A and B are shown apart, each in its own frame.
Chain A
Amino acid sequence: KQEVTQIPAALSVPEGENLVLNCSFTDSAIYNLQWFRQDPGKGLTSLLLIQSSQREQTSGRLNASLDKSSGRSTLYIAASQPGDSATYLCAVRIGAGGTSYGKLTFGQGTILTVHP
């Protein structure tokens, strides 16, 4: 059974800092990995999606890396801003032999607070 763990559970940083959120998964037979952002009382917004054959994806100040063999992904946020405050969720989509089975398994999330 796939298990996804995120560290740290919570993080509080001053504005402007670069930070790293960690995600690990137990079964390396993944199809892709997706990072989401969730604001309080809201749904999930997709930030980045990395295919199993890729090493990283970038979008603006966000960079996500994937090391499938070691079962790890990191989300790097550069020059953090108060507007980045939210819960960040990592999710893996299982698959084998190039077939995606569709469903996502989520980590518990990292609650990020960026204070001015």
Chain B
Amino acid sequence: DAGVIQSPRHEVTEMGQEVTLRCKPISGHDYLFWYRQTMMRGLELLIYFNNNVPIDDSGMPEDRFSAKMPNASFSTLKIQPSEPRDSAVYFCASGRRTEAFFGQGTRLTVV
């Protein structure tokens, strides 16, 4: 298995633009997580899905953030409009109830 695949690996965008981050989880995993990592706040859980259904989105910072999981093999995290303070590394992870495997992350820079 190729592991959790995230794209793009790096994204530089201008303030106000829409950004879409993509994630392909490991086949057979029924949980999918989106995390954000910054120097100041460390790793924060944004949202997680179980069997494609959002379970807890309390970590989503604002309405500008949205996440979808249309099927078991794909998820997106969208920021619209983007702001400089959204600059961070965004990680997707998948797993079963008891363990999680992380992707390589998407480094987002909003200028």
Instruction: Please give, as numbers and ranges, the residues of chain A lying within 8 Å of B105 by CB-CB distance.
Output: 42-43
Q: Mark B58-93, 1 if CB is under 8 A from A, else 0.
A: 000000000000000000000000000000000101
Question: Which residues of A lie under 8 Å from residue B95 when comparing CB positions?
Answer: 102
The answer to whether B45 has its CB under 8 Å from any CB of chain A is yes
Complexed CA–CA distance, A87 and B37 (Å): 13
Q: List 24 A-B residue pairs with CB atoms under 8 Å apart, sorted by A's residue number.
A: A31-B97, A31-B98, A36-B102, A41-B107, A43-B91, A43-B102, A43-B105, A44-B91, A44-B93, A44-B102, A46-B100, A49-B99, A51-B98, A91-B43, A102-B31, A102-B33, A102-B50, A102-B55, A102-B97, A103-B45, A103-B48, A104-B100, A105-B45, A109-B42
**Is B43 in contact with A89, judged by CB distance below 8 angstroms?**
yes
**How many Å lie between the Cα of A23 and that of B107 in the bound state?**
27
Q: Which residues of chain A have a CB within 8 Å of any CB of chain B?
A: 31-32, 34, 36, 41-46, 49, 51, 89, 91, 93, 100, 102-109
**B104 with A106: CB separation less than 8 A:** no
Q: How many residue pairs between the two chains, A and B, have CB atoms under 8 Å in the bound complex?
A: 51
B42 and A46 contacting across the interface, CB-CB below 8 Å: no
| Cβ–Cβ < 8 Å partners of B91 in chain A | 43-44
A86 and B85 alpha carbons, distance in the complex (Å): 26
Contact between B45 and A104, CB atoms less than 8 A apart: yes
> Which bracket fits the contact residues of B?
20 to 34
Do residues A43 and B104 form an inter-chain contact, with CB atoms below 8 A? Answer: yes
Give the CA-CA distance A42 to B105 in the complex, in Å.
7
For A106, give its contact among B42, B56, B98, B101 (CB under 8 Å): B42
Q: Assess whether B103 is interfacial by the CB under 8 Å rule.
A: yes
| Bound-state Cα–Cα, A47 to B104, Å | 16
A52 CB to nearest chain B CB (Å): 11
Q: Known contacts A44-B91, A89-B43: does B33 contact A103 (CB below 8 Å)? A: yes
B56 touches A100 (CB 8 A): no
The residues of A that contact B99 with a CB separation of less than 8 Å are 34, 46, 49
